[in-house]
Copies of this chain bind each other. A is one copy, B any other.
Amino acid sequence: MALASPAATPGDLRAAFDGSRALVTGGLGLIGSALARRLVELGASVTIIDASLPESGANLRNIESIRERVQLALVDVRCTDQLPELLRGHDYLFNLAAQVSHVASMSDPITDLDINCRAQLTLLEACRRVNPGAVIVFASTRQIYGRPEYLPVDERHPLCPVDVNGVNKMAGEAFHVVYSNAFGLKTSALRLTNTYGPGMRIKDARQTFVGIWLRNIIEGRPIEIWGGMQKRDFTYVEDVAEAFLLAATCPQAQAHAFNLGGDRVVSLLELAEMLIATNGAGQYLVRDFPEERQRIDIGDYYADDGQFRQLTGWRPRVTLERGLERTLAYFRANFHHYV
């Protein structure tokens, strides 16, 4: 792959998106809503598709600041009838609708497949028919690598998912690559690591453990850490949203999938300590892994995202400290909307 593209500047993004029409599936969730807010800021006309499922990251509060400036379609990507009509005429499709719980994918694997795999193919097929010129960016995940064989994990690392969610996301991503190579669709994919930030699901641990940690710390309850020495990287949601915009405006990204990492690597214990320090108070308990989690845990993970940085000029702008600070401040002010 050519890695020679100059980095996009904020001005490039405005030029690309001002006056454009962008569709965001899963647009009420953590990343989708941050992306929608940024797209509105850049002058795009934004349509959000979201099924608003109770077990998902969807929350209307996430788009409060742009509610009057976006079209909202409460549609499930599994229900295909309305998709072609919704896709028509859009310049960009940010494809983020997903079932994100690894544990849920093991207790209800078919629902995970229908959302993360089957609906992705339906969407691509609809695009191919009614809007083959749209630029598509898919939210993939580090989960498709499984337990890392080496660190940091680059895009050459074997794909060996440990749970049903990982298999379905791997297939969902691969469909995007196939549709680009075989049918010329302008697709790319970002393999996300832990994304956190204002607007995430904090009700429970379905959208990474960080969510439930935030809830517990705000409610004055101890954080429960399973294990604790696992190393991970974390990307602040606004940095992830920026990456989606950069991928969409970079033709060299098409037919490829890229890792996205964070600004640094920490253990879960270190993260807990940072969160408690940011909060000014709190405590944690270290617990053994519950068995159903142990079987699908991936151990240490952190990404080598050098390819994407070089290609697009992207890098995390928000440090982990600052991101945790902003996230905690947001949830303190908006707590009752999320629990």
Residue positions of A touching B, CB distance < 8 A: 106, 109-110, 113-114, 117-118, 121-122, 125, 156, 158-164, 166-168, 170-171, 174-175, 177-178, 181-182, 295-296
Picked from B110, B122, B158, B171, the residue with its CB within 8 Å of the CB of A168 is B171
A117 near B171: Cβ-Cβ < 8 Å: yes
Can you show 15 pairs from A to B with CB atoms below 8 A apart?
A113-B121, A114-B118, A117-B171, A121-B164, A158-B158, A160-B177, A161-B174, A161-B178, A162-B182, A166-B178, A167-B174, A167-B178, A170-B171, A170-B174, A182-B296
Does B159 contact A178, Cβ atoms closer than 8 Å? no
Query: Chain B CB within 10 Å — which of A158, A160, A170, A178 has the most?
Result: A178
Q: Is the CB of A113 within 8 A of B106?
A: no
- A113 surroundings in chain B (CB, below 8 A): 117-118, 121
| Other contacts beyond A117-B171, A168-B171, A181-B295: 4, CB < 8 A | A121-B164, A163-B182, A164-B175, A167-B174
Copy tally for this chain in the complex stands at 2
Shortest distance between the CB of A282 and any CB in chain B (Å): 33
Partner of A125, one of B110, B159, B161: B110
Q: In the complex, are the beta carbons of B162 and A178 less than 8 A apart?
A: yes
Chain B nearest CB: distance from A320 CB in Å? 31
Closest 5 CB pairs of A and B: A171-B171, A167-B174, A182-B295, A167-B171, A109-B121
Quote the shortest CB–CB distance from A162 to chain B (angstroms). 7
- Asked if A106 and B167 sit within 8 Å, CB to CB, the answer is no
Residues of B within 8 A of A295 (CB): 181-182
The complex places the Cα of A109 from the Cα of B126 at a distance, in Å, of 11
> In the assembled complex, which residues on chain B have CB atoms less than 8 Å from the CB atom of A162?
178, 181-182
